[in-house]
Amino acid sequence: MNPIIPLLILCLPLLGFLVLGLLGHKMSHKAAGWYGVLSMGTTMVLAYITAATYFFSNDAAFITEAGNRLQHIIFNQDWLQFTDSLIIRLGFLLDPISALLIVVITTISFCVHLYSLGYMEGEKGFQRYYAFLQLFSFSMLGLVVATNIFQMYIFWELVGASSYLLIGFYYTRPSAVSASKKAFIVTRFADLGFLIGILILSYVTGTFDFTDFTSVQDGSSYAVALNTPMGILARFQGATFMGCSLLTWALVLIFMGGMGKSAMLPLHIWLPDAMEGPTPVSALIHAATMVVAGVYLVARLFPLYLMEEAALMFITVVGAITAFYAAVVACTQIDIKRVLAFSTISQIAFMMVSLGVARPEFHESLGYMASMFHLFTHAMFKALLFLGAGALIHAVHSNDYTAMGGLRKYMPITHITFLIGCLAIAGIPPFSGFFSKDEILSACYQQSWIWGAWMSMVAGLTAFYMFRLYYLIFWWDEPDYGHHKPHDGPWVMSLPLVFLAAVSCVAGFIPFGTLVSWNGVPYHIHIDWMGVALPSIIIAVAAIALATVMYRKKNSLPEKFAKASCGLWTAAHNRFYWDEIYLFITHKIIFNGICRPIAWFDRHIIDGSMNGLAWLAQRLSITIRPLQSGSVQAYVYIYLFGALLLGAITTACVLL
């Protein structure tokens, strides 16, 4: 494949960032905005071309005769050489998941660019906003097409930084500043794990390249690097650390990076706060693209993870707990963006669990495919929900549902599209969420009924809180909107909503299995209607019904419910006090318990000892001052004493 198009996919957003960043203040808002939209639009088209070429061209580089998809490196440029074998390269790896992701990213990004034209209209720093969006898109694209783990890390960091910049876009608002800081530092902490994981992995294998880790060997399955899967294992054998093999450590630490970006418990705390950013940003970064980077990372290294049962187990457990936790919290939040944020956490946890339960022996790792499928559908409907929320916020100038209610009359487009989003996420057929979630659930059931039941329950909660949100916004009780009745946004805002809603309606019918599977072997999805699908539909409908009862009309049921829950509701409302715990750890323990003592130690002990030396010299100088008493006889006395002592000591030393 001609490398120009992939290269352009990366370069256009970068160029956009540089142009808007350096020259943006000379441009008008309109020019800057449209430049950004066009740049992203072009990128999107190019990404579609690339993906289409990969999936449908039947080129031998991409697909074997037997129809197995291959990994293909389009270009790979040396960037930094560490040792002879450890080289960071910047390149473009095309395989099913990267092709999928570039489509997702460019689509959502384009929608957000377009949407922002309306949403951000007249904001100060409009050009800056677009520059950051472009930077983010560049970084995210670079991340997904990484040919080696270090390239991924590089873009991983860039993604974090651009997320920081975008969350803190309203930089005069202290809450935005602290949210952006929190997001950066929490993900940085996770990245530390990622980095150490990379160090361990690369030290043992002597390579960064994904293709070395996970290459197609015989057309039927991915094999692990360095000739045989056992080869790498052998290198890890014997080397254990604290009871776990090095491979486990490496994989768990790498997953830690994913936990940070994907907001898994306990590193999830930054995501709800990140909603301080402009809402389109939340849609782009904190719902559809960046937060799934963790899932993508695990998927990317999936063949490696397969070798370590413990690591996969860890992923599953973390994912399952997070999914439940986030769903419960989402039921109690007031801020609509926070509800969506927790819902995002929960949905990503779904993907993680799905990856965690995937095994080649169960249906050719159905979980892997399901996870990617859900990633795709979730990106679409979650972006839709966020953009819808953005339209609402744009209309009522508040984030809280208490300021909304009965909006279905005023904002019909938003209402319909939002409803579609809610149906999709709740898993009601024929919307896309149903299909992907169904695959995840069946993957869970294949592993163990415990996971299946657990995740079904979470799915039910999902349906409940989404419809709670839906009713509270669009039904419930109508507050006094004053003279300016809320209304739908301009077309640039509505168009993306409609488009994404349309996608959410039909995406479920994509034969996803033939495109994406863990080893490139195509595979046909079939829905287990009786075993999995029907029960889950029933659960979802029941949950929706419950939500309808509780929230459709203004009533006191929710309040009574909250009171009856013996504090559970308050705890959930306060997100189970995770933030307070973190605040305690960072402020009380790290800041006051480590940093301050160290600073004190430095000033008083280390520096004090240096000053002490000076003081000592001065002190000594004063102490010996009486020697110079001014009296000749004292001088001579010392002279004589000195001479005799000199003789005596030397004699003693020589003779003894």
Partner 1 sequence: MEINVLYYLLPSLVMFCCGIYGFLTRKNMIAMLISLELMLNAVDINFTVINRFIYPDGQEGMFFSLFAIAIAAAETAMAIAIIINLYRVNKNVDVRDANKLQG
Partner 2 sequence: MFSNPLIYFVVIPVIMLLGLYLSRSMAHIRTVAVTGSLCLLGLSIWLLVDYLGLRAAGAEGAMLYRGDWTWFSALNIKLSVGVDGISIAMILLSSIILLTGSFASWKINPLPKEFFLWLILLSIGVFGFFISIDLFTMFMFYEVALIPMYLLIGIWGTGRKEYSAMKLTLMLMGGSAFLMLSLIGIYYNAGLDSWNILDIAQADSIPHSWQYFLFPMAFVGFGVLGAMFPFHTWSPDGHACAPTAVSMLHAGVLMKLGGYGCFRVAIYLMPFAANELAWIFLILTGISVVYGAFSACVQTDLKYINAYSSVSHCGLVLFAILMLNTTAMTGAIMQMLSHGLMTALFFALIGMIYGRTHTRDIREMGGLMKIMPFLAVCYVIAGMASLGLPGLSGFVAEMTIFVGSFQETALLNRVFTIIACCSIVITAVYILRVVGKLLLGPVQNEHHLELTDATWWERTSTVTLIICVAAIGCFPNFFESLIRTTFSADIFKVIGM
Partner 3 sequence: MDYSQFLAMKQEIALLAIFLIVFLYDTFMPKKVLTGLSGITTILFAAFTLAGFGLMCGHTESAFAGMYVTSPVIATIKNILNVGVLIVLIQSASWNNSETQSTRRGEFYELLLVTLFGMYLMISARHFLLFVIGLECASLPLAAMVAFDKHKYESHEAAVKYMLTAVFSSAIFMMGLSYVYLLTGSLYFDTIASSVGCLDAQPLLIVALAFVIAGVGFKLSLVPFHLWTADVYQGAPTAVTSYLSVISKGSAAFAFMVILAHCFGSVYSAVWEWMLYGLIILTITVGNLFALRQNNMKRFLAFSSISQAGYIMLGIIGNNAMGMASLMFYILVYIFSNLAAFGVIQAIENKTGKLDMSDYRNLYKSNPHLAFVMMLAMFSLAGIPPFAGFFSKFFIFTGALSGTTSVALYVLVLIALINTIISLYYYLMVVKSMFLSTEDPIIETFRSSCADRIGMWICTAGVIALGLVSYFYNSILTLCQNSGLLNAIV
In the list 56, 82, 577, 639, the residue contacting partner 2 (rule: CB under 8 A) is 82
Q: By CB under 8 A, which span of 54-62, 144-152, 531-539, 623-631 interacts with partner 1? A: 623-631
Q: Give the DSSP letter string of 502-534.
A: HHHHHGGGS-HHHH--TTS--------IIIIIH
Closest CB to partner 1 among residues 556, 633: 633
Residue 237 binds partner 2, judged by CB under 8 A: no
Q: By CB under 8 A, which span of 435-443, 448-456, 600-608, 636-644 interacts with partner 1? A: 636-644
And the tokens for 27? 């441009």
In the complex, least distance from residue 640 CB atom to partner 1, rounded to whole angstroms: 7
In the list 506, 581, 613, 640, the residue contacting partner 1 (rule: CB under 8 A) is 640
d(CA 248, CA 257): 14
Q: Which of partner 1, partner 2, partner 3, none binds 200 (CB below 5-8 Å, type-dependent)?
A: partner 2
Residue 610 binds partner 3, judged by CB under 8 A: no
Residue 651 binds partner 1, judged by CB under 8 A: no
The three-state DSSP-derived secondary structure of 265-287 is CCCCCHHHHHHHCCHHHHHHHHH
Least Cα distance to 68 among 229, 227, 210, 216 occurs for: 216
Closest CB to partner 1 among residues 611, 618: 618
Closest CB to partner 3 among residues 564, 627: 627
Residue 649 binds partner 3, judged by CB under 8 A: yes
Q: Which of partner 3, partner 2, partner 1, none binds 203 (CB below 5-8 Å, type-dependent)?
A: partner 2
In the list 37, 100, 112, 195, the residue contacting partner 2 (rule: CB under 8 A) is 195
Contact in structure between 444 and 452 (CB atoms under 8 Å): yes
Closest CB to partner 3 among residues 482, 630: 630
Q: Give the DSSP letter string of 126-187.
A: HHHHHHHHHHHHHHHHHHHT-SBHHHHHHHHHHHHHHHHHHHTTSTTSHHHHHHHHHHHHHH
In the complex, least distance from residue 115 CB atom to partner 2, rounded to whole angstroms: 25
d(CA 487, CA 407): 9
Omega of the bond prior to 174 within 30 degrees of 0, cis? no
Name 91's bridge partners. Answer: 76
Dihedral class, residue 585 (left if φ above 0, else alpha if ψ from -120 to 50, else beta): alpha
And the tokens for 143? 């991340």
Q: Which of partner 1, partner 3, partner 2, none binds 154 (CB below 5-8 Å, type-dependent)?
A: partner 2
What residues numbered 128-187 form the site for partner 2, per CB under 8 A? 150, 154-155, 157-158, 161, 164, 168, 171-174, 177-178, 180-181, 184-185
And the tokens for 346? 């929960």
d(CA 26, CA 4): 30
In the complex, least distance from residue 615 CB atom to partner 1, rounded to whole angstroms: 20
216 phi, psi to nearest 5 deg: -75, 130
Closest CB to partner 2 among residues 267, 515: 267
In the complex, least distance from residue 643 CB atom to partner 1, rounded to whole angstroms: 11
What residues numbered 435-464 form the site for partner 1, per CB under 8 A? none
**CB contact burial 461-493 (16+ within 10 A = b; e otherwise):** bbbbbbbbbbbbbbbbeeeebeeeebebbeebb
In the list 589, 595, 616, 648, the residue contacting partner 2 (rule: CB under 8 A) is 595
Residue 2 binds partner 1, judged by CB under 8 A: no
Residue 626 binds partner 3, judged by CB under 8 A: no
Closest CB to partner 2 among residues 82, 641: 82
Sign for the CA dihedral angle at 399, 405, 409, 410 comes to negative
Residue 596 binds partner 2, judged by CB under 8 A: yes
Tell me how far CA of residue 589 lies from CA of 192, 576, 583, 592, in angstroms. Answer: 20, 20, 9, 6
Q: Tokens 């301009």 map to which residue?
A: 490
Binding site for partner 2 (CB under 8 A): 78-83, 86, 88, 150, 154-155, 157-158, 161, 164, 168, 171-174, 177-178, 180-181, 184-185, 188-189, 191-192, 195-196, 199-200, 202-203, 591, 594-596, 598-599, 602, 606-607, 609-611, 614
